[in-house]
Structure 1
Amino acid sequence: MKKLILMVFVCFLGMQMTFAQDIISVKEFLKIKSDPNVVLVSARKPADYKKVHIAGAININHKDLYKATPKSTLKSSAEIAKILGEKGISNNNTIVIYDNGSGKYSGRMYWILKYLGAKDVKLLDGHMKAWRMARKPVTKNPANRQATTFAVNLNKGAIASIVQVKKASNSATSIIVDVRAADEYNGTKESKLPKGHIPSAINLEFKNVMNSKAKLKSKEELQALFTAAGITKDKEVILYCESSVRAGIVYLALTSALNYPNVKVYDGAMFEWAASEIVQK
């Protein structure tokens, strides 16, 4: 009987560890914080970082990783790798990311790093909110790391092109998910972009994968959420928003928490879709 209980406990623990592989609590982070291979990254806006940040965190502004046009699309992998290396981040580091609690900027950085082939990327669960609640050290002093080399190993399966999205919009084996707010999806919100959404896309706002404490919802809650929306493991899932910044946290929920095998982010997003001639053909 004792052996059976032990086996059940070990299995349960294994499930918890699998769920939490890319999410790390404040308590768990404090255990590894002093490891020189661990890099803490604030994905908050530079102005917020200058006011106060978690002690030891370096700052990376996601906007520094984009081309001018199409708006908010990624620079070349070589250019991003150079920026990361100059910041002291290699693809072999354990990289822990946080933001103010929205999950937008940390999620975006998470997806970028996973796309570039970083081996160990985690989000601090609860972000700055959880850190302050735990009354852990903050500072105004910027942190710096010695420059290194980030070796790119592209995960091409993590990104979707506009051609792939157009094909997916007419495919029963694919599902396109617009992670914007309902009024953006429906076209009732004032915007510089054309109103509406990519044809056949469903709407599931990114905020729904987190709870009120800025923590990722449980595996059971997430699975119920996606299943109810028709987002199942047997389909190719393509995520986007206005610029796909908000898609990153949903990518993490699907791939890390729920082990969905085929999830992509459409990096060009609505900015590229609305401006492209491809979609008119």
Structure 2
Amino acid sequence: MDYAHPEILVDVDWVEENCLKKGVRLIEVNYNPEKAYFKGHIRGATLIRWEDMIKEESYVDKAFGQAWVAGMDAYDDGLPRDILDRGEFEKLMSKHGIERDTKVILYGDHGNWFAAYAFWLFKIYNHQDTCLMNGGRTKWELDGREYVLEETQVQPTKYKVKSDSEGDFRASLDDVYDSLDAKDMRLVDIRSPEEYSGETTSSKDLGLEEMDKKGHIPGAVNVPASDTVNKDGTFKGHDELLELYKSHGVISDESVVTYCRLGERAAHSWVILRYLLGYPNVASYDGSWEEWGTARGVPIKTSCKPDGTDVNKESKPEKKSKGWGGGFWGRK
């Protein structure tokens, strides 16, 4: 069976033939560009770094009604990250020479995880013609295709966002917290089995520092991102993906929320569930373990079994308002 929305994917042949055409903007999205883009990239590609898509500043933790600032003991691994606001997103798009009708092709390192995060962000701000190059750098390199070193120069534009879909595509800490006992919600942990069980909090691919709190959000099922792709980095077929998620109880009749450590793998699986399988109610909790694992008063499970009882039930403070995103639940 074909994907529900095959139009959001292009293959490496299409990119090689069309990447320099007018109206097409090819963007490489990197977690570590020094080990990727700057060592060689597809001709015509501009660069978006991971940090270009997030805010790196203190914020008011609305979920618990307290103001957090850099250096507070409540956070183990720096401050939680927020997405670009509308104006910042417009500046990013303008910098890359993107118009409202530009066809944007995203690809990147680390299994296309961060390219998928960019895809999710572009869809939040409703840039309609956004695609992923299936397989990312992994597929391109396995095929032995050409890279270039010269950086692409583009003419800046004056991009304007017309509307956003944040409430449909994004879940907050409060959304997840308030729905832990919901019967019609499925929480999907995209991290490795070792991260899920509490052995570690760091993906081997990213080399992140360990966090003090380990485990997973109670009720979450573990469907690692690595199980959803082929060896060449391309997505597995529709039927194989559907069987994988169904085997973990993730069905289209329920609301689904994905999460990981930083939000990038969560976005990768969000793309699969929403666009490749066509699940209607899927959101990404981009705060993910960086936020949940540093927040006070949230429950954490360290058992690797779905029905395990090894749960650290912390006190549950009164919440005063919605945190990041929000508005996902009840929007069927």
The structure 2 residue matched to 1:40, chosen from 14, 26, 44, is 26
Deviation at 1:84, TM superposition (A): 2.1
Match of 1:148? 157
1:66 aligned onto 2:76: no
What pairs up with 1:72-111 in 2 under 5 angstroms? 72-100=81-109, 102-111=111-120
Query: Aligned partners of 2:250, 2:9: CA distance in 1, in Å?
Result: 22
Indicate whether 1:201 and 2:189 are aligned: no
Instruction: Quote how far apart the aligned CAs of 1:243 are.
Output: 1.4
Q: Does the 8 Å contact 1:101/1:214 carry over to 2?
A: no
Contact 1:178 1:202 survives alignment (8 Å): yes
- Partner residue of 1:126 out of 117, 120, 135: 135
Deviates more, 1:89-98 or 1:226-235: 89-98
User: Quick one: percent identity of the two aligned structures?
Assistant: 25
Compute the displacement of 1:209 (Å): 1.2
Aligned-pair CA distance for 1:257: 0.8
Aligned with 2:196 (options 177, 181, 185): 185
Kindly indicate whether the alpha-carbon contact (under 8 Å) linking 1:41 and 1:95 is maintained by their aligned counterparts in 2. Answer: yes
For 2:183, the equivalent position in structure 1 comes to: 172
Question: 1:161 aligns to what?
Answer: 172
Q: Which runs of 5+ in 2 are unaligned?
A: 59-78, 202-209, 299-315, 318-332
- Find the aligned partners of 1:278 and 1:77 in 2 and give their Cα distance: 31
Given the superposition, is the C-alpha separation of residues 184 and 162 from structure 1 closer, same or farther in structure 2, using an over 3 Å criterion? Answer: same
SS at 2:104 equivalent = strand
The equivalent residue for 1:8 is: none
Which residue of 2 is the match for residue 264 of structure 1? 283
Give the aligned residue type for 1:166: Y
The normalised TM-score by structure 1 is 0.88
Cα distance change on mapping 1:197 and 1:91 into 2, 3 Å: farther
What per-residue deviation string (whole Å, max 9, x for no partner) do you get for residues 22-42 of structure 1?
111112234433331111011
Per the alignment, residue 4 of structure 1 pairs with none
What's the C-alpha RMSD, in Å, of the aligned pairs? 1.9
What is residue 5 of structure 1 aligned with on the other side? none
Per the alignment, in what secondary structure is the counterpart of residue 264 of structure 1? Answer: strand
Q: Does 1:274 align with 2:310?
A: no
Query: Which runs of 5 or more structure 1 residues have no equivalent in the other structure?
Result: 1-14
* Contact in 1 for aligned 2:213/2:294 (Cα 8 Å): no
Of Structure 1 and Structure 2, the greater helix share is in: 1
In the TM superposition, residue 131 of structure 1 has moved relative to its aligned partner by: 2.5
- Match for residue 45 of structure 2? 57
Structure 2 counterpart SS, 1:104: helix
Equivalent of residue 14 in structure 2, options 19, 24, 28: 28
Matching residue's letter, 1:239: T
SS at match of 2:14: helix
User: Aligned partners of 1:275, 1:169: CA distance in 2, in Å?
Assistant: 18
TM-score, normalization by structure 2:
0.75
AA partner of residue 254 (structure 1): L
How many angstroms does 1:64 deviate by?
1.8
Contact residue 169 and residue 175 of structure 1 kept, 8 A: no
Shift of 1:176: 0.8
Give the drift of 1:125.
1.4
